[in-house]
């Protein structure tokens, strides 16, 4: 166990664990505040029961990544960070809470209610002195189920900058590092088990107090006030934020390294504090985040901006692509595309070295002859983008024996290594190519557009902090392809911490 947790500082684990608990606690508290009244409402208005429970059921069937993706573009409550993460968890937690509240109150013997009414109790008195006390253990059972579900789903919050233990899991998937995955998964499982144990005890305790309604009510009121006070204190602390600007990144090793280099450079050369929002998923999440002002800057690739964001046809001239992207981002989004960092990270189609040597192939046009014998695995973006698989298959006349499998890039590398697939897409600077002894097939027909790495910043941020521009300029044309490959390799294969890799790079490039 000590070997596993040596991959990351204990301080980082505690920080992410705390984030995870806070996100879940806030979401469950708000879900109870919404779900219990909703459950009570449909016991009094039974005609709405099918509608309420049906909607809650439908939400439960929507994949969690789809919910997070939808919330990014939602006004006010959407975007990235903890707020949309909490909102998503609330949606998933509502069904068991509403259902158990409805079932618990509906199953109370009518004779008990009639006795209460005969004693002159009002509807409000019946609710708080009869219905809720008698149904409380069943309601708590629903909260228990909702909490365990939320602890698990909260790991996906890392994909939209929500933090939590999912940060380690996503990093582990991207780098094929099972230890990092366990660093995220083990504390998450402990939290789920602990929450389940505590709520199970509470459920049993309340179930044993069937006759003492007043004692049960006092206990619940004290517990509720304590939880609400604790959460309010946490919210206040979270809002005491000394960070001034936010740097984001997509969910890849290279992107996080570049984001960390920029963040450290800013903190070193200016008085500006940086909030890091790394692992934000793919291109569209980062682009939406910077447009909405959720992040102030991140690193993009010119070819990606041209084809994926601007929806234009691929162009092979790097200077033309850069100028088109720079002008369009300025006019359409009020974003500044800065000068390149110095290296190009183009798409790369990779196969195992043993296959390349056995078949004597180095180029994509040569590989096309064997494509009908291969199973492919490609990333989600590559299958959908204008400069992705569809255009590539037409250019090289690829005829795969089956449709390509969609998979996370981290899993794709693992599948290649284990011979579950035969060909996949990567990036030319990815450290896993060297780590897994893969071969990049030459794009001999020049299908892929240039992908120069460029910092993109919100123009309002640059106007507010003029020193930012001068600081970022020091990174222009400073990173070579070989340096980027080496930094990726250090993180992916040698398990060097990203913060240290970025620091080493900056130390080696001091003027």
pLDDT in tens, 277-327: 888 877 888 898 899 888 999 999 999 999 889 999 888 899 999 999 999
pLDDT in tens, 128-142: 888 888 888 889 899
Terminal alpha carbon distance of the chain: 43
3-state secondary structure of 275: strand
Q: Predicted confidence band at 448 (pLDDT cuts at 50, 70, 90)?
A: confident
**Above 90 in pLDDT, residue 421?**
yes
**Above 90 in pLDDT, residue 330?**
yes
**Are domains 245-343+456-508 and 347-441 of this chain identical in fold?**
yes
State the pLDDT at residue 215: 60
**Above 90 in pLDDT, residue 223?**
no
State the pLDDT at residue 213: 54
pTM across the whole model: 0.69
Query: Which CATH class, in words, describes the domain spanning 2-239?
Result: mainly alpha
82-86, 238-242, 313-317: which range is least confident on average? Answer: 238-242
**Above 80 in pLDDT, residue 233?**
no
Strand pairing report for 274-277 and 245-248: parallel
Query: Which CATH class, in words, describes the domain spanning 245-343+456-508?
Result: alpha beta
Share of the chain above pLDDT 70, in %: 88
Q: Predicted confidence band at 80 (pLDDT cuts at 50, 70, 90)?
A: confident
> Per DSSP, which regions of 331-435 are E strands?
335-337, 347-352, 376-378, 405-406, 423-427
On the CB side of 379, how many CA atoms lie within 13 Å of its CA?
A: 22
Angstrom distances, CA of residue 55 to CA of 43, 102, 137, 153, 496: 16, 15, 24, 19, 47
**Above 60 in pLDDT, residue 267?**
yes
Q: Predicted confidence band at 111 (pLDDT cuts at 50, 70, 90)?
A: confident
Distance between CA atoms of residues 21 and 15, nearest Å: 10
> Per DSSP, which regions of 294-338 are E strands?
297-301, 335-337
Q: Predicted confidence band at 443 (pLDDT cuts at 50, 70, 90)?
A: very high
When the pLDDT of each residue in the chain is averaged and rounded to a whole number, the result is: 86
**Above 60 in pLDDT, residue 232?**
yes
Residues 364-368 have a mean pLDDT of 93
Angstrom distances, CA of residue 110 to CA of 9, 130, 143: 58, 11, 25
State the pLDDT at residue 298: 97
Phi, psi of 92 (to 5 degrees): -75, -25
State the pLDDT at residue 452: 96
CATH of domain 347-441: 3.40.190.120
State the pLDDT at residue 360: 93
Distance between CA atoms of residues 137 and 127, nearest Å: 15
State the pLDDT at residue 207: 63
pLDDT in tens, 85-105: 899 999 999 999 999 999 999
State the pLDDT at residue 427: 85
The token duo for 97 is 């809470």
pLDDT in tens, 4-63: 555 566 877 888 898 899 999 999 999 999 999 999 999 989 889 899 889 888 888 887
State the pLDDT at residue 6: 52
Alpha carbon 254 to its chain centroid, in Å, reads: 17
pLDDT in tens, 189-210: 999 999 989 888 877 776 665 5
Domain boundaries, the chain: 2-239, 245-343+456-508, 347-441
């Amino acid at each position: 166990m000590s070997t596993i947790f040596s991959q990351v500082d204990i301080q980082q684990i505690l920080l992410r664990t705390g984030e995870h608990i806070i996100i879940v606690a806030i979401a469950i508290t708000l879900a109870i505040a919404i779900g219990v009244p909703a459950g009570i409402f449909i016991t009094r208005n039974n005609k709405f029961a099918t509608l309420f429970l049906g909607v809650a059921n439908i939400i439960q069937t929507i994949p969690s990544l789809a919910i997070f993706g939808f919330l990014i573009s939602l006004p006010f409550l959407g975007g990235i960070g903890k707020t949309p993460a909490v909102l998503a968890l609330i949606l998933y937690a509502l069904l068991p809470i509403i259902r158990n509240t409805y079932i618990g109150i509906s199953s109370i013997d009518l004779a008990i209610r009639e006795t209460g009414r005969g004693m002159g109790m009002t509807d409000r008195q019946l609710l708080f002195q009869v219905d809720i006390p008698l149904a409380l253990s069943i309601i708590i059972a629903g909260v228990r189920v909702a909490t365990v579900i939320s602890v698990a789903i909260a790991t996906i919050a890392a994909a939209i900058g929500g933090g939590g233990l999912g940060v380690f899991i996503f990093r582990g998937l991207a780098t094929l590092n099972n230890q990092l995955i366990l660093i995220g998964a083990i504390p998450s499982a402990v939290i789920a088990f602990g929450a389940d144990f505590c709520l199970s005890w509470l459920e049993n305790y309340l179930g044993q107090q069937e006759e003492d309604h007043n004692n049960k009510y006092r206990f619940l009121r004290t517990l509720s006030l304590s939880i609400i006070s604790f959460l309010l204190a946490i919210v206040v602390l979270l809002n005491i934020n000394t960070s001034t600007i936010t740097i984001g990144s997509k969910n890849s090793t290279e992107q996080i390294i570049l984001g960390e280099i920029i963040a450290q450079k800013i903190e070193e050369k200016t008085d500006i504090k940086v909030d890091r929002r790394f692992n934000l998923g793919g291109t569209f999440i980062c682009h939406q985040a910077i447009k909405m002002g959720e992040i102030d800057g991140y690193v993009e690739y010119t070819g990606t901006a041209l084809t994926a964001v601007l929806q234009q046809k691929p162009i092979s001239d790097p200077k033309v692509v850069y100028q088109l992207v720079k002008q369009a981002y300025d006019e359409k989004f009020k974003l500044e595309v800065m000068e390149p960092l110095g290296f190009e990270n183009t798409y790369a189609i990779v196969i195992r070295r043993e296959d390349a040597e056995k078949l004597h192939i180095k180029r994509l046009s040569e590989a096309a002859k064997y494509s009908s014998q291969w199973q492919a695995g490609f990333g989600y973006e590559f299958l959908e983008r204008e400069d992705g698989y569809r255009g590539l298959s037409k250019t090289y006349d690829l005829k795969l024996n089956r449709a390509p499998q969609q998979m996370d890039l981290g899993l794709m590398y693992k599948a290649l290594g284990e011979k579950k697939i035969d060909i996949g897409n990567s990036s030319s600077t990815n450290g896993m190519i060297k780590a897994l002894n893969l071969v990049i097939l030459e794009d001999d027909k020049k299908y892929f557009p240039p992908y120069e790495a460029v910092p993109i910043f919100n123009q309002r941020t640059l106007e507010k902090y003029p020193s930012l521009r001068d600081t970022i300029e020091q990174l222009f044309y400073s990173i070579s392809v070989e340096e980027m490959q080496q930094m990726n390799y250090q993180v992916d294969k040698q398990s060097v911490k990203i913060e240290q890799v970025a620091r080493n790079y900056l130390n080696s490039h001091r003027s």
